């Protein structure tokens, strides 16, 4: 069976009907949610991105949304902003290990892993995740009736409490926002899984243990 065919049969690797996608505005960024959605998520620590960069990212999203709604061409300076703060560029920024990199502490990385697994099989199905020094990537399929924002909030609350206890510090551990991408087909699913699994090595983290994938267990008939 060809690779694309295999991915097309994975749980959640289906084309969503866009009328089912709901946009929720929380924090700086809009978030698209879909019933039983399959997502590629990135959640970063509060000190990993300066506020000035977060402002530029939010501005980039506003420009994109306005352009889509009004079907207008972008100005050269807007295109420059979109390129500078695109998702791949932001991922490169995260991989530069900015901030305190709390997940270098195995106690805190372990708490994050426990948070991800806390409602596995009840609220969602995990397909892959990696915990990087200052951010986390997750590929997850929500179960019926579960909201992405609620799931992410629970992960943050659990891990932040453990981190503050271990570090003996106060203050914000996570920012309010996160980055999500609805996975629409098998190709996108395959790329997301590969990105998550390969991210530690690409970032130069040798023998990094905080990475997991369901592998062939993720394969089911749709």
Q: pLDDT tens, 62-79? A: 666 666 666 666 666 666
Instruction: Report pLDDT for 7.
Output: 35
- Tell me the pLDDT tens digit for each residue of 203-212: 999 899 999 9
Tell me, rounded to whole angstroms, the distance of Cα 188 from its chain centroid.
Answer: 14
Q: Read off the pLDDT band of 113 (50, 70, 90).
A: very high
Predicted TM-score (pTM) of this structure: 0.69
Strands (DSSP E) along 45-201, which ranges?
124-131, 135-142, 179-182
- Comparing CA positions, the residue from 34, 10, 41 lying closest to residue 139 is 41
Can you say whether the dihedral through the CA atoms of 170, 171, 176, 178 is positive or negative?
negative
The reported pLDDT for the residue numbered 125 is: 94
So what's the pLDDT on residue 82? 55
Q: What is the mean pLDDT of residues 9-14?
A: 36
- pLDDT bracket for residue 56 (50, 70, 90): low
CA distances from 178 to 1, 26, 46, 119, 214 (A): 36, 10, 11, 19, 23
pLDDT of 132? 95
Quickly tell me which residue has 């980039």 as its tokens.
60
Which domains, ranges and CATH numbers included, belong to the chain? 1-15+35-49+99-222 (3.30.70.1290), 50-97 (no CATH)
Write down the pLDDT at residue 25.
47
pLDDT-derived band at 200 (thresholds 50, 70, 90) equals: very high
Name the phi and psi angles at 20, rounded to 5: -85, -10
What is the reported pLDDT for 93? Answer: 60
Give the mean pLDDT of 119-137.
95
Q: Give the pLDDT score at 74.
A: 61
- pLDDT confidence of 168, banded at 50, 70, 90? confident
- Rounded Cα distance between 181 and 196, Å, is 13
Per-residue model confidence (pLDDT) at position 21: 42
pLDDT of residue 91: 67
């Amino acid at each position: 069976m060809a690779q694309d065919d295999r991915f097309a049969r994975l749980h959640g690797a289906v084309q969503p009907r866009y009328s089912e996608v709901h946009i929720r505005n929380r924090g700086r960024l809009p978030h698209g949610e879909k019933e039983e959605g399959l997502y590629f998520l990135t959640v970063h620590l509060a000190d990993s991105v300066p506020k000035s960069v977060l402002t530029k990212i939010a501005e980039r999203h506003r420009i994109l949304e306005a352009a889509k709604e009004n079907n207008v061409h972008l100005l050269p300076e807007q295109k420059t902003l979109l390129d500078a703060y695109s998702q791949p560029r932001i991922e490169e920024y995260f991989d530069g290990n900015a901030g305190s990199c709390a997940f270098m502490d195995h106690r805190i990385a372990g708490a994050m892993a426990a948070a991800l697994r806390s409602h596995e099989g009840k609220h969602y199905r995990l397909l892959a995740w990696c915990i990087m020094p200052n951010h986390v990537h997750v590929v997850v399929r929500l179960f019926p009736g579960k909201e992405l924002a609620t799931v992410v909030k629970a992960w943050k609350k659990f891990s932040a409490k453990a981190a503050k206890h271990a570090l003996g510090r106060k203050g914000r551990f996570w920012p309010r926002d996160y980055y999500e991408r609805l996975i629409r087909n098998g190709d996108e699913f395959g790329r997301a899984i590969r990105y998550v699994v390969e991210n530690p090595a690409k970032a130069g983290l040798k023998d990094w243990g905080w990475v997991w994938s369901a592998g062939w267990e993720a394969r089911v008939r749709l």
